[in-house]
Amino acid sequence: MKVKIYKPAKNAMQSGRANSEMWVLEYELATPRRPEPVMGWTCANDTLNQVRMKFESKDAAIALAESEGWEYVVSEPHTRKIRPRNYIDNFKYVPDEE
């Protein structure tokens, strides 16, 4: 069984970084998704794609995957570059580079 371990990015609807400190382990899709014939909803034959486990650290998620014998892929999070900005920077003169 294949799983992926990653740290989710913040939601586009939130301004802060809350709920983005946990690591997530989720199963890869074993069967393709398809539309259900009666209602037209998207369905799959396996229910494992609905399971998402959260962990405090990457090592805890890896330990579970190894203890269960699952193949895993770890996606490292992107580092956020914070440039300190002040209100006065909006009016600062910066000469053109030629």
Tell me the CATH number of domain 2-91, given options 3.90.550, 1.20.1510, 3.30.160, 1.25.40: 3.30.160
| CA distance to 7, 22, 57, 69, 83, per residue, from 75 (Å) | 7, 13, 13, 19, 25
Q: Residue 19 — very low, low, confident or very high, per pLDDT cuts 50/70/90?
A: low
pLDDT top residue among 97 and 40: 40
For 1-98, strand residue ranges (E) read 2-6, 23-27, 34-35, 42-43, 52-55, 71-75
pLDDT at position 98 is 67
Q: What is the pLDDT of residues 23-81, one digit of tens each?
A: 999 998 888 888 888 888 888 888 887 889 999 999 999 999 999 999 999 999 888 78
Every domain of the chain and the residues it spans: 2-91
